């Protein structure tokens, strides 16, 4: 069983683990930490990697659990993020197949950060046809021996060697001729470029 942090449009690394271990607990009771995948994802653009960050309203106190965080009602981030995805992926082979499903969530996103992340995660699992058992915990999870704790392993701050089983596999990217192959991106990059064949990349991205 995997132990995961909530994540915004999680990276391919997360889905590679979910492909091989179809059971996970998502810890929404852990403390919110800035500059992590909890409210940030990385996509590929013609200029290279681009981070998209969800604005959150911090609860009182410095140790607010992720489950208590609400997405900011100020600004126009749903439109900005959706337009960024369109600009990055409208030329990719499978964007038109999946765009409506994603746009629906960006038109009326849930108020809570964890709820929005969960809606996007379950959508991507459905589009990949990956049947996974996901448990959401609003209390901090203390890992036990049967768990593979990936909460600090899958992180933009983690070194590439933090997860020795994960080995990014190259796949077609629209802007690769300009930027070179960009690894460790959000799962949407793989999904929009490879569609159903994404499962093969996930299968081969984790050492047994």
Residues 6+ apart with CB under 8 A from 160: none
> Can you tell me whether residue 89 is helix, strand or coil?
helix
Query: What number of residues does the chain have?
Result: 208
Secondary structure of 23-57 in HEC code, one letter for each residue: EEEEECCCECCCCCCCCEEEEEECCEEEEEECCEE
At residue 121 the predicted structure's pLDDT band, cuts being 50, 70 and 90, is very high
pLDDT attached to residue 59: 63
| Average predicted confidence (pLDDT) for the chain | 95
What is the C-alpha to C-alpha distance for residues 9 and 125, in angstroms, rounded to an integer?
A: 11
Instruction: Give the pLDDT confidence score for residue 148 in this predicted structure.
Output: 96
pLDDT reported for residue 196: 97
Task: Return the pLDDT at 63.
Answer: 76
Pairing of strands 40-45, 48-53: antiparallel
* pLDDT score, position 160: 76
* pLDDT (tens digit per residue) in 49-70: 999 999 999 765 557 899 999 9
pLDDT at 29: 96
Average pLDDT over residues 175-185: 96
% pLDDT > 90, the chain: 89
Q: Write the pLDDT tens digit of every residue in 4-42.
A: 999 999 999 999 999 999 999 999 999 998 889 999 999
pLDDT at 61: 54
Model confidence, pTM = 0.95
What pLDDT is attached to residue 112? 96
Q: Give pLDDT tens digits for 163-179.
A: 999 999 999 999 999 99
pLDDT tens-place string over residues 126-135: 999 999 999 9
127 neighbors 101 (Cβ within 8 angstroms): yes
């Amino acid at each position: 069983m995997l132990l995961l942090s909530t994540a915004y449009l999680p990276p391919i690394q997360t889905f590679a683990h979910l492909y091989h271990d179809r059971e996970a607990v998502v810890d929404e009771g852990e403390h919110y930490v800035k500059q992590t995948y909890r409210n940030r994802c990385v996509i590929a653009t013609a200029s290279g990697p681009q981070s998209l960050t969800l604005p959150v309203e911090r609860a009182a106190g410095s140790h607010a659990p992720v489950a208590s965080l609400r997405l900011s009602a100020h600004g126009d981030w749903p439109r900005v993020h959706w337009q960024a995805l369109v600009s990055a992926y409208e030329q990719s082979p499978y964007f038109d197949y999946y765009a409506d499903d994603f746009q629906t969530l960006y038109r009326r996103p849930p108020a809570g950060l964890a709820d929005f992340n969960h809606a996007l995660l379950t959508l991507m699992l459905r589009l990949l046809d990956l049947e996974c058992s996901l448990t959401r915990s609003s209390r901090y999870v203390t890992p036990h021996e049967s768990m593979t704790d990936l909460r600090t392993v899958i992180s933009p701050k983690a070194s590439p060697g933090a997860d020795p089983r994960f080995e990014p596999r190259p796949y077609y990217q629209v802007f690769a001729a300009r930027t070179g192959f960009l690894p460790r991106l959000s799962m949407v990059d793989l999904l929009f470029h490879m569609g159903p064949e994404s499962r093969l990349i996930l299968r081969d991205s984790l050492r047994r």
